[in-house]
Chains A and B, each alone.
Chain A
Amino acid sequence: MDSLIRENHARVTRRQLFGHGVSGVGLAALASLLGRDAAAAQPGLPGLPHVAGKADRMIYLWQGGGPSHLDLYDPKPTLEKYRLQDLPESVRGTTRLSTMTANYKKWPILPSVKPYKKWGKSGLEISTLLPHIGSIADEICLVRSMNTEAVNHAPGVTFFLTGSQIPGRPSLGAWLAYGLGAEADNLPAFVVMTSSDKARSCGQLFYDYYWGSGFLPSKYQGTRFRASGDPVPYLANPNGVSRESRRDLLNGIQELNQEHLKQYGDPEIDTRIAQYEMAFQMQSSVPGLLDFRDEPKDVLESYGPQVHEPGTYARHCLIARRLIERGTRYVQLMHSGWDQHSNLFSHFETQCRDTDQPSAALVKDLKRLGLLDKTLVVWGGEFGRTPFGQGPADKPNGRDHFGRAFSLWMAGGGVKKGHAHGETDEFAWNIVKDRVHVHDHQATILNLLGIDHQRLTFRHQGRQYRLTDVHGEVVKGVIA
């Protein structure tokens, strides 16, 4: 609550500086007077950035379900010779597995389903299932040594996005909105969009605590744009109410509020007035955001044909770029369908196809607009998948959850280009070089955005909480 009090002080002080109450000022002047620090547009915390960071905004391309590292980003050609052999116990160790495979008698090794290729000047090896991401290999920094303790989806996602496996802590986006504030007056600072593969193959849900504010004030929680109805709840006026009539009604409301301010003198009434102005602006800025008519044809095409279908990953990628362009601080785009327990040979390829092109198009598009340097893009999910196969031991058709070692990539925002960080053993099971734990990943993201993860704290229940709990080290090896 401290920051609320501080904001309140700021308002009061400014009013005193101006030497008069707000009541004498016209509405337009009022909006500009209050515009940047009330309601939607929030100032960041004083003292930020803590560290020099290139990025000031971010897009998380969340790949829900646990994309298979072995099949996409972490080539293990020598595994072919062990095909369907039992994974050696010396490698397997005491790794905690989900209840789906923990009681297996045999863990048959399953090499990657498709070949890899060296891409670009960097020669980064990425699966041929992802040709578009391959085409931006020279822009990305691949991390092949991710590690998490989580065994199942919800705890795994919660861990990545809030720093704890148990729901209730503020999410990454809430911390960013709290720390860095908002740039846009008329758009939320933190936007979430969710989508799933068409087959709805994995049934993984996206819960609102993945973008919740936890114990931070609730204004820092993410706003989820919905695919049907109003993108933002209650954005449209009630039926029959035109924009002009609403504008006029709001003028009346504001006039009455100013009357009341004269009587009561509570600076909170100022905030209310600004809040209603902002709401009115949002009613036009959000629909404008979603109207793609101003996009060049080739740009639209680059995201693939699904860009025109509401609720698709492709469309959300383009909206993410448009949001970032307009000053939204953080976009969390969540797509499910990576949970290949039994459909590795059927559905996996479709999943790759649906996400490959839009992900790459987004990075290219940001670059085209000169936004990539200050925008951090992260592509990844809650864990990887087991190098052994799930299903019949002689004919496995899937892979189980695997958090011990997996991959993700980052682009823009001051990370190395065409670079691979960390290594796993020949079975893609154990990390042999440069382990990056979830908390390290979070510390690194914050660092790239100019935040010292140990200093972005909020006092709750008598202690200073932070995204990385009491852990996390910045991974210098991924920073350019």
Chain B
Amino acid sequence: MARLIGLFSFLLVGNSFADAAPPISYGRDIRPILSDNCFFCHGQDPNQRKADIRFDTRQGQKESGAIVPGKPEKSELLTRILSHEAGQQMPPPKSNRKLTDQQKSLIKQWITEGAEFEDHWAFQTPERPKLPDVAGVTNPIDRFIRSKLKDRGLAPSPPADKTNLIRRVTLDLIGLPPSPEEIDAFLKDNSPNAYEKLLDRLFASPHYGERMALPWLDAARYADSNGFQQDGDTFQWVWRDWVVRALNTNMPFDQFTVEQLAGDLLPNATRDQKIASAFNRNHMVNGEGGAIPEEQRFVILFDRVDTTATNWLGLTVACAQCHDHKYDPITQKDYYSLLAAFNNVSESGVAGRQSSKMRVSPPFIDAPSPEHQAINDSYEKLITGLKSALAEKRSLWERNVASEKTSAPDEIRKLLLMTAKSAPKDRNAKITAYFEEKVEPKLVAELKAAEKERTEFRNDEWPKVMIMADDRPRETHILDRGEYLKKKEPVTFATPEFLPPLPKDAPKNRLGFARWLVSAEHPLTARVAVNRAWQTFMGQGLVKTSEDFGVQSQRPIHRDLIDWLAVEFRESGWDMKKLNRLIVSSATYRQSSRVTQEHLAHDPENQYYARFPRMRLPAMILRDVALAASGLLVQKIGGKPVYPYQPEGIWETLAITKERDFTYPKSHGKDLYRRSLYTFWRRTVGPANLFDASSRQVCKVKSSVTNTPLHALTTLNDTTWAESARVLAERIITQSSSNDERITNVMRRILSRPPTEREQTIIKAMLTRQTDFFRKDPKAAQAAVAVGEWPVNQKLDAVELAVWTQICLAIFNLDEALTRE
């Protein structure tokens, strides 16, 4: 009967719980309720624990005596949650926590069925699940997805059409739109492996690493300045280039992990491996006057531990900074034992200083490129040359003065003629001063200028990358309430107790920690990584809370799939390209993204993937698409950051600092058209046109897609888009004189497809009306085409160019253009 009531309540709530059909699962149905409502006072933290009762462990539930398996009427847990009496009711009304009737009946059902306890799924080493039997599909991903779809009575969507598919996968893998030639080649290729060939090309593209780096840069809170007052610039872009290279060369994820967390500790670490460890020096640094260095050092340490834990463990350990974690089995001791591995860096907590512009704090290494080396060498050569020329001239002059061939004041001549013994101490200084001021002032000025330039070059250009180093061993303590002045007992590095132990022979430091993360029995690392890959291609993770795999996380509908992918990923040798390829090869990825009434009715959130999720492109990629479609894009990979168009006074709030000039040093020429990834990221004021991006202040592993009018204003009015539209307009005007063809060309360059008949009609009407506007006002047309620094093609008629510029801008702003569908 209880079971029937339970069932009935499911029906009432609708289909969102339909898959929670009996028998009940503790992990899926019960723990989330207990965790949300009870663990705060009856969980892991002994300081919060009330009545010495805990429900978060098997033993705790047993010892509580409040749960009598099979006997709900004798279980005090149920009595209390059903009670409305003050002092009896649980959770207490004061707590702002409340169980729904449905949750109450679930708990009753669970007790009736025997109150079976399960350990949290994500904390158990994943085992490869059996592939479901599904006819007609071979990709393992599809077998899991189709099997769940079938259970739900949903059908997968038909395959996306080929133009749609090539745009989708090209944007996903290299972050650029396919060119019309690439589209044609793909459309013409009717061989059964046409798609595989396309993937071969994309995975081999040097732009693959640029695209795949984007989420990793967010996660690594990478930026080009320290943040806070002074907001000094850094050279961490050298690390950014390392990431792009590692992704392009398909560095296995275990190596990717070890090098970034502990590259500096590897035996005979190479310069690149040390650079990789800059991952954990990408944090903010507070350079405020009056800031207490040790306090700031701990802020950095906490950030380092949180970022590492979120990225690899999918755990929010920050809670354990002040107290034992309320939900996950992480104690405060675990937290500080983990922190001990990161606490041996010789940093002081303040931002170091190279110049008024650059602030790099130790430890750091020089990381010059061959180009830097060459510039440096030519400075050396120039300065050595000038110095020896000066020395030669000096000795000649001295000889001449001595032999009275050249005149000089008596004092100088006397000094020169003195023997070393009898000469006053300042003899040389006086002669030098005279020689430099009166005899060779020009050459000396040249030398000084060259030396000044070299110093500036060495301070401002010569890359010094902040890296990790265990060069200052420290004792680590548990901190009372996380306050750096309140030290409690000392701890040494250890991994959290609830996870597999560190192998006996492992080094007890970051290197041991990093290798432990990628060990075969680790339950979290592989799951967290495959979930993030899934999120990149499918919009959200299989575990939607990609930053949290703890007991409060969202339990995945496709748990088997995530486990299968995790095992596959690990056993493939942590092959990132192989994993990504598996995902984008699946029918699930290749299906249409059209939304039907049935989808909206039965799976509005697209949790079952009966369609491919449409997603607005990240602003960084939108900008790249505009540049690429117009042909302005400069495809150079890597190097120091650039300063493309930003609104006037973008850094005006910083201008209050007298220490340095904070005028935005706008680039010119090619650097205006580099990929967004290379745009200088000032931590205090991010680029205005890269909306919805992570602030790069703290680790962010989940992207945010929102729609505000400000975003629309950006893609309609920013010079980047307006100029791209104009240059694209020049291109299509010169390519053809037919309006039909021009429209087709614009559409194909931006949307990858030709227009429909109806669209042709609409766009032609727009053309006519825009022509009317600009004909009436030719000056406006001149102004409209003069946008940006790219020279205007003077051969074209300004009115015609202005009109087509508007059309191109309109197409850039279509929902379809902004979306990966």
**Residues of A participating in the B interface, judged by any CB pair closer than 8 Å:** 1, 4-5, 8-9, 12, 16, 38-40, 96, 98-100, 151-155, 166-168, 188, 194, 196, 200, 203-209, 212, 217-219, 223-224, 226-230, 232-242, 244-246, 248-249, 252-253, 255-257, 259-261, 263-269, 271-273, 275-276, 278-279, 281-283, 336, 400-401, 452, 454-455, 460-463
Contacts and interface: CB of A to CB of B under 8 A. Distances in A.
Contact of A463 (B293, B327, B614): B327
Interface string B682-695: 00111011011001
B762 A252 contact: yes
B600 A267 contact: yes
Nearest to B712: A279
Contacts of B551: 462
Nearest to A41: B709
Contacts of B648: 228-230
B763 A39 contact: no
A38 B550 CA distance: 34
A332 to B, nearest CB: 13
B17 to A, nearest CB: 16
Interface string B571-608: 00000000000000000000001111100100011000
Interface string B430-458: 00000000000000000000000000000
Q: Provide the main secondary structure of the chain B interface.
A: loop
A206 B784 CA distance: 35
A109 to B, nearest CB: 21
B12 interface: no
Among A9, A16, A248, A400, which residue has the most Cβ atoms of chain B within 10 A? A248
27 contacts: A1-B544, A8-B604, A12-B600, A16-B600, A38-B707, A40-B709, A151-B290, A152-B288, A152-B291, A154-B288, A167-B697, A168-B697, A205-B657, A218-B692, A238-B722, A240-B782, A240-B785, A241-B780, A245-B770, A248-B770, A256-B763, A256-B810, A264-B614, A265-B596, A268-B616, A400-B290, A461-B318
Contacts of B600: 12, 16, 265, 267
B754 to A, nearest CB: 14
Contacts of B656: 196, 200, 203-205, 336
Given A40-B709, A223-B710, A98 B657 contact: no
B806 interface: yes
Among A223, A237, A238, A244, which residue has the most Cβ atoms of chain B within 10 A? A238
Contacts of A239: 783-784, 786-787
A79 B762 CA distance: 79
Contact of B707 (A1, A167, A272): A272
Contacts of A234: 647, 688-689, 710, 713-714, 716-718
Contacts of B658: 200, 203
Contact of A249 (B228, B286, B722, B766): B766
B520 interface: no
Contact of B719 (A188, A238, A242, A256): A238
A265 B597 contact: yes
Contacts of A257: 814-815
A87 B548 CA distance: 50
Interface string B281-319: 000101011111101000100110000001000001011
A207 B649 CA distance: 15
A245 B773 contact: yes
B515 to A, nearest CB: 26
The 7 tightest CB contacts between A and B, nearest first, are A240-B784, A462-B552, A240-B783, A229-B648, A98-B290, A279-B712, A461-B316
Contacts of A241: 780, 784, 806
A252 B688 CA distance: 27
A314 to B, nearest CB: 18
A393 to B, nearest CB: 19
B818 A207 contact: no
Given A204-B656, A217-B704, A275-B711, A152 B290 contact: yes
Contacts of A271: 707
B647 to A, nearest CB: 5
Interface in B757-775: 758-759, 762-763, 765-766, 769-770, 773-774
Contacts of A152: 286, 288, 290-292
A462 B545 contact: yes
A266 B595 contact: yes
Contacts of A230: 647-648
A288 B307 CA distance: 45
B710 A205 contact: no
A243 to B, nearest CB: 11
Contacts of B816: 260
Given A238-B719, A245-B770, A271-B707, A253 B229 contact: no
B781 interface: yes
B766 A259 contact: no
Given A200-B658, A232-B713, 20 more contacts: A12-B604, A99-B291, A152-B291, A203-B656, A203-B657, A203-B659, A204-B656, A205-B231, A205-B653, A208-B684, A208-B695, A224-B653, A240-B802, A256-B759, A260-B816, A261-B815, A275-B711, A278-B712, A279-B709, A463-B316
Contacts of A261: 815
Interface in B50-74: none
Contact of B652 (A227, A235, A240, A248): A227
Given A219-B706, A259-B758, A264-B593, A269 B815 contact: yes
B716 A226 contact: no
Contacts of A167: 227, 284, 697-698
A273 to B, nearest CB: 8
A271 B706 CA distance: 10
Nearest to A266: B595
B809 interface: yes
A5 B692 CA distance: 18
Contacts of A226: 647, 649, 652
Interface string B633-659: 000000000000001110011101111
A275 B548 contact: no
B34 to A, nearest CB: 14
A145 to B, nearest CB: 23
B814 A209 contact: no
Contacts of B717: 234-238
A252 B810 contact: yes
A265 B96 CA distance: 40
Nearest to A8: B604
B756 interface: yes
Nearest to A263: B594
B142 interface: no
B547 interface: yes
Among B548, B704, B821, which residue has the most Cβ atoms of chain A within 10 A? B704
Contacts of A229: 647-649
Contacts of B227: 167, 207
B661 interface: no
B348 interface: no
B492 interface: no
Contact of A253 (B605, B697, B781, B810): B810
B553 interface: yes
A1 B702 CA distance: 11
Given A205-B231, A218-B691, A282 B713 contact: yes
B714 A242 contact: no
B708 A275 contact: yes
A92 to B, nearest CB: 17
Nearest to B701: A461
A173 B415 CA distance: 75
Given A99-B292, A154-B228, A260-B814, A238 B709 contact: no
A276 B686 contact: no
A39 B708 CA distance: 5
Contacts of B711: 275
Interface in B219-247: 227-229, 231
Contacts of A5: 604-605
B309 to A, nearest CB: 10
B815 A272 contact: yes
Nearest to A42: B708
